[in-house]
Amino acid sequence: MDEEKRTEEFKINGEDLIEKIKDIIKQGNAKKITIKGKEGNEILSFPVTIGVVGIVFAPIFAALGAIAALATECTIVIER
């Protein structure tokens, strides 16, 4: 039985990026998160695994901080 991939997209300002990602991870029903730049190019993509502790996400949040500082607008794609 094939599972159908469901995706959601959010356009967001760079300053709100980290908080939105944290909220998505807290919801716990995302499989993969992709960050795209204003032009639609993929900047960062990472899997979200149930039961992963926060220490694993520390390098990802560091990268997100750098992206947020440089990006004025980006798109978050959530695969559920």
Instruction: Kindly report, residue by residue over 31-64, the tens digit of the pLDDT.
Output: 899 999 888 999 888 888 755 555 567 777 778 8
- Give tens-digit pLDDT for 62-80: 788 787 767 778 899 999 8
Instruction: At 31, list the tokens.
Output: 């499989």
**pLDDT at res. 50:** 54
Considering the domain 7-79, what is its CATH architecture? 2-Layer Sandwich (3.30)
Instruction: At 57, list the tokens.
Output: 């996400």
Q: Where are the domains of the chain?
A: 7-79
> Which strand (E) or helix (H) includes residue 25?
helix 17-27
Distance in angstroms (rounded) separating the CA atoms of residues 49 and 30? 8
Beta bridge partners of 8: 78
Side-chain half-sphere CA neighbours of 31 within 13 A: 8
Fill in the amino acid letter for 28.
G
Q: Is the pTM of this model over 0.85?
A: no
**pLDDT at res. 67:** 78
Distance in angstroms (rounded) separating the CA atoms of residues 58 and 1? 35
